[in-house]
Amino acid sequence: MQHEQEANHEEIEVKADATNIQDELKDVADDISNPENPVNAGENVSEEDKLKAELASVQDKYLRLYSEFDNYKRRTTKERADLFKTANQETVLAMLPILDDFERAMEAMPNEAGNSSAKEGIMLIYNKLKNTLTQKGLKEMDALGLAFDPDFHEAITKIPAPSEDMKDKIVAVLEKGYSLHDKVIRFAKVVIGE
């Protein structure tokens, strides 16, 4: 019997709590529907402020996203232009040893009258190859007599300078350096005077 009384008592408390919650909800609904209520006016202002803050936040996100997309477009356009400039870089780089071989062959050929036509033919082919690569953007870098610059030169060794003014300057070029559209594709291998 005592258990029944406790259960009834708990049921009455639950019903009372439910009634209180319903009454509170009715009061809130009345406050919202009554625009003359000063509490409601304060809530509307705060709600309006919340909405304004949310709108400002959304606009800020939109502006950030728009500028990020604009930066992305600029970056990809620049990368695409750079790619078109250096698309043939691997091919040109593979042709550089052939250019070096032509130069070595011309230096090694003796200047005899009988070899003049063979040397002239090699010169014509060499010039044609070099002009074609130059039209594609290849540029030979000057190095002899200049100060050493690690951005363009690769030092192989140092030797005593032939004169005082050649100290810390390039005294010999072992392999020419080349750039393709102002981008170094092969560093000049040089000897520096000390």
- 115 with 160, same domain: the answer is yes
- 35 with 108, same domain: the answer is no
- 128 with 65, same domain: the answer is no
- 29 with 124, same domain: the answer is no
Q: Are strands 188-193 and 153-159 parallel, antiparallel or unpaired?
A: parallel
- 59 with 94, same domain: the answer is no
The residue out of 82, 108, 141 marking a domain boundary is 82
Q: What is the CATH number of the domain that holds 115?
A: 2.30.22.10
- 141 with 65, same domain: the answer is no
The residue out of 82, 97, 114 marking a domain boundary is 82
Distance CA 126, CA 189 (A): 21
Residue 148, classed as helix, strand or coil, is coil
The residue out of 14, 48, 82 marking a domain boundary is 82
- 65 with 98, same domain: the answer is no
Q: pTM here?
A: 0.56
Distance CA 154, CA 192 (A): 10
Tens of pLDDT along the chain (194 residues) come to 444 444 444 455 545 555 555 555 455 445 544 545 444 444 556 888 889 998 999 999 989 999 999 999 999 999 998 887 777 888 889 999 999 998 888 888 877 666 678 888 888 999 999 999 999 889 999 888 888 888 899 999 998 888 888 888 899 999 999 998 888 999 999 999 88
- 72 with 109, same domain: the answer is no
Cα–Cα nearest to 178, from 78, 77, 97, 82: 97
Q: 81 is written with which tokens?
A: 């232009």
168: left (phi over 0), alpha (psi -120 to 50) or beta: left
- 96 with 143, same domain: the answer is yes
- Which residues span the domain enclosing 43? 2-82
- 150 with 104, same domain: the answer is yes
Q: What is the DSSP string of 29-98?
A: HHHHH-TT-HHHHHHHHHHHHHHHHHHHHHHHHHHHHHHHHHHHHHHHHHHHHHHHHTTTHHHHHHHHHH
Spatial neighbors of 106 by CB under 8 A, at least 6 apart, are: 119, 122, 123, 126
Write out pLDDT tens, residues 111-155. 766 667 888 888 899 999 999 999 988 999 988 888 888 889 999
Residue 152, classed as helix, strand or coil, is coil
Total number of domains in the chain: 2
